[in-house]
A and B are shown apart, each in its own frame.
Chain A
Amino acid sequence: MTRMMIRGNESIAYAFKLARVQVVPAYPITPSTLVPEKISEFIANGEMKAEFVPVESEHSAMSAAIGASARGVRVGTATASQGLALMHEVLFIASGMRLPIVMGIGNRALSAPINIWCDHQDMMAERDSGWMQFYAESNQEGLDLGIMAFKIAEDNRVLLPAMVGIDAFVLTHTVEPVDMPEQEDVDDFLGEFVPHYVTLDPEKPATLGSFGFPEHYMEFKYGQWIAMNRAKEVIEEVFAEFEKKFGRKYAKVTPEFAEDADILLVTMGSMTSTTREFVKKMREKGKKVGLVKLTVFRPFPKEELREVLKNAKVVAVLERNISFGFGGAVYAELSSALSTLKEKPKVVDFIIGLGGRDITFKSLEEALSVAEKAMNEDVDEVNWIDVNKEAVLKAEGLL
């Protein structure tokens, strides 16, 4: 193991190198451009034996990834924001064909207005594409989840593609220490890639991704449903095996300072770090506040969340996405997951840090004060944090 100082984008590139990815079709986009750049460098230096396919769009990148994966080789790519949106229709083909492609996403806002900074709207908009979704808190997590994603995706019980989200700039462009595992240990952990599915092979011709008539289509979808549900246990197994081999612990849901907490702050991605520091400060002040980090969003860890959140009085969901006309996606799913509990905490949604707006202690204080109020009285279901509401209300003719 070596400790390296790398950017989040390099974490994804190193994960692909250590996983011995064989084909990387990619189209560069801010903020994830460094991923294909670094991989091209690895290939040019002879450090990585892979075919790099420079395509003319993200739609083509995913199409080429599907073709390569259908041939039965390990495939990785990376994109962000508009690039992921452009892949939209092809994403469903990758998951529908049950191809274990892994993709790094530099989580970035969607236009308009054009914005290159961090939020989770890009991946959330692909929530129903049939891909597994992992969100990294740090560059170390980007690397580790990148490696584990292959093992989970390629498991015979799963065979589904996976996205690993690293927050735009906050991770993609931030240099920090990352413990780099040895190649032989990763080889041992992942094993050689053997496709457990019919592949494109001129010696044994087969048709893949063909027509599905009404009498068959739904069975394919039911298969994906089963696979995504089984992914829950596979993720748990792979996380446990990873911890045994590399010493770093992962969980779909990680509670901290949660046991006696009245208020639990639910976070995803890089905002977890600052929130952890904030929670420590609040604990010093004697406030019963805890943190619940959500690492896996698809499959959604309902059971774990119920267990961790059931004793809290208020669950404050902090999220960098918005489903207009309802609220945040995490809030929607989490509320629905908790609905089966007899005694349930009050769930309050906080839309925060869209388009790279910095999430500071002040933002978190604003959210916490609403959550504290919610302990005793009704508050808005969906709360926008750090927003100049007056300016918007004026512009909308309401003030």
Chain B
Amino acid sequence: MARGTKEKKKNALLSGLREIGTTFKEGDIKTRLSYFIFGLGPILRGQILIGVTLLLCEVLFIVYMAAFGWGYLSKITTLGTTLTHKVGRKTVYGDNSFLILLFGVLSVFAVMALIAIWYLNVKENRKEELLLKEGKTLPTNKAVFMSLFDENFHKTLLAIPVTGIFVFTVLPIAFMILVAFTNYDKNHQSPSNLFTWVGLDNFKNILSFGTQGMGSTFVRVLAWTLVWAFLATFVDYFLGLGVAMLINKKGIKFKKLWRTILVLTIAVPQFVSLLYIMRLFAPDGLINGYLIKWGLIKSYIPFWADPMLARITILVVNIWIGIPYMMLITTGILMNIPEDLYESARIDGASGWQMFRRITLPYMMFVTGPYLLTQFTGNLNNFNVIYLLTQGRPQSMSLKGNAGNTDLLVTWLYKMTVNETNYKMAAVIGIMVFIVTAVVMLSVYNRLPSVRDEEGFQ
């Protein structure tokens, strides 16, 4: 299968290249000129709208590159060499590594886009020539424009979202991935200082276990991240399922009331409820206060100061957050389980537990499998709960890079960026999060029983 698609892609590429060749060979002068001046063919053939758009792309590219794109792109191998310095009283601005890297990346994307547009331009010429050769007429400009609301409607719909994602997600991610291979940190801040390429040094740092490396810290944070994600997902899931089954039970009244009480947790903004709960468990908080007053304990329980206790408290608070969601989701699905399954099981003399094990659970797992997976990856990156409750604390001497005992990889990444301004390591951690997420996704997704053909739904 994999080989098949690869082969297909290779063939598509080859035939694409061949098409470019034949178009040039068989094409008239208009087509051939279009290879250099985009859209000239369509303009001369009366397809003003398409032609002008193509031409505009080329002009924009040239202007961008000439104005500053090339200036940055040409320095990308060194990320700048001249420092900002003072000549007499005047400050002479040197290179800015940040800008060089960012606009260098943008320029690379621009070149790629230009190649794609060039190819579209060639194809458009070919299409028009073939149509004319067959004696047909080309669509009018109005028809071309109107097609943007009909068979080409997707282009209209996707133009803004795709642009937005490119500028605010793709470009920054490409930039940060590259930062992982530089020495960009607080000692190499632009514009006063330069940073430069260091190859795989940062990755070696995070995977080296010596006294200098961050290896042991990384492994500990990663381990807690995985444990947290696993427990936060499955404990909440089963407890939520249990609560849903309690509420769904025959003969229980006020079903709506119970649900509404739980759903309050989702409705109230998390920063309010989580910060309140954080203070509830504080040394001078209500829980410790009452326990001392009632004489149950002598001195306060360090819910947030003890590493192990802090982790447990976070998990418990997360149950409070998580159960309502799970309850909502499982309630709907529980009601869909065919009643006659239980009926026949009861006739066979199955106990409640057996029915749960053999009917309810397999059914639930089948239906909610994909959801559990997204929930797991969501928990790997569950910033709010951890950060609002502990900010990753308690700190530990044995952890490097300002990491705390309850830090997840993402909260560590956040601290690296904001508190330490250690951008290079933040980028490395970000890539690690990506790898962990991708590995979990890929290894689980294809094994889910309910992964069906997407078109099967329609």
- Indicate whether A and B interact: no
A residues with CB within 8 A of B: none
